Amino acid sequence: MARFLSISSGSNGNCYYIGDEHTALIVDAGVGYRTIKSRLAGAGADISSVEMIFVTHDHVDHIRGLASVAQRLSVPVYATARLHDALSRHKAVGPDIGGSRRVLRPGFETEMRGVRCLTFEVPHDATQTLGYRLDFFGTRFVFMTDLGKVPDYAYEICAGADYLIIESNYDLDMLMGGPYPPDLKSRIVSDCGHLSNESCAAAVRRFWHPGLRGIFLCHISKDNNTPELAYDATLRSLESMGLSVPADLRLVSLPRSEVFSMEF
């Protein structure tokens, strides 16, 4: 039995798990080792099965627990050379994962332990931000957790995805009417910021194909969004194409601090 688990999703921390009885991986470790271990155990998964970690970027909500997880599990950490260099200087990580470094090149496909990985750059205000296409023994997952816009090449790279994990960070009206200072609002809505609900919904229209089985909305803002608003925006986009949820595909707003589990 293979499963996808969202362990945490949002500014409080991000961590996602894909695994079966043979191997498992996590994308980002933005919460601590104990939290990951406990939440996996609560879902019936064992952290000791994790054999590799993929890092999207060097913001703390994606790497807070990276050093402790990598050290305790003694597993490789995959990222680009540029991102690894930034991680080695980051106070949340430091040089402690030096021996675990495995270097990926954007646009080049690599296979490790039967999992095929292709990473690609997306625009976000980190040192370097990566999307991932992970083919887990015949099932294709695409992760785009933080980005200001979806680059055109991502649609081609990610064609044929079975499951799409994509940011739906903010509702524009909530953001603009909220208490954030103007410079922070400008950063969020920029092309190197975050995806709004409407931008996510528009991207989903382009990503959709008849084999797409599920869309998981991630990194939903606590202050400038709600799970319902994010869900409704993408639902309207899908329905405008004549699609029905859940008959045609699954649509989920991932919870911020609770585990979401799906068998596939």
For residue 165, which of 182, 187, 140, 148 has the smallest C-alpha distance?
140
Segment 156-180 mean pLDDT = 98
Segment 216-222 mean pLDDT = 98
Using an 8 Å Cβ cutoff, are 89 and 58 in contact? no
What secondary structure letter does DSSP report for 165?
E
Residues β-bridged to residue 101: 77
Q: What is the pLDDT of residue 238?
A: 98
Assess if CATH 2.40.10.10 describes domain 147-256. Answer: no
Please say if the pLDDT value at position 228 is more than 90: yes
Strands (E), 93-243: 101-104, 109-112, 115-121, 130-136, 139-144, 163-167, 214-218
Cα Rg of the chain (Å, integer): 17
Using an 8 Å Cβ cutoff, are 64 and 88 in contact? no
What ranges do the domains of the chain cover?
1-105, 147-256
Residue 1: band (very low, low, confident or very high) from pLDDT cuts 50, 70, 90: confident
Using an 8 Å Cβ cutoff, are 117 and 111 in contact? yes
Segment 29-44 mean pLDDT = 98
Q: What is the pLDDT of residue 237?
A: 98
Segment 77-101 mean pLDDT = 94
Segment 30-41 mean pLDDT = 98
Using an 8 Å Cβ cutoff, are 14 and 39 in contact? no
Q: Which residues 6+ apart lie within 8 Å of 257 measured at CB?
A: 8, 10, 12
CA–CA dist 147, 169 (Å, integer): 9
1-105 CATH pick, 3.30.950.10, 3.60.15.10, 1.10.15.40, 3.30.300.160: 3.60.15.10
Using an 8 Å Cβ cutoff, are 258 and 203 in contact? no
Tens digit of pLDDT for each residue in 142-159? 999 999 999 999 999 999
Please say if the pLDDT value at position 96 is more than 90: no
Please say if the pLDDT value at position 87 is more than 90: yes
Segment 9-25 mean pLDDT = 97
State CA 179 to chain mean position distance: 27
Q: What is the pLDDT of residue 135?
A: 98
- pTM value > 0.85: yes
Residue 109: band (very low, low, confident or very high) from pLDDT cuts 50, 70, 90: very high
Q: What is the pLDDT of residue 121?
A: 98
CA–CA dist 233, 79 (Å, integer): 32
Tens digit of pLDDT for each residue in 45-61? 999 999 999 999 999 99
Segment 238-252 mean pLDDT = 98
Mean pLDDT score of the chain, rounded to an integer? 97
Q: Identical fold at 1-105 and 147-256?
A: yes
Q: Which residues 6+ apart lie within 8 Å of 196 measured at CB?
A: 168, 169, 170, 171, 172, 175, 189
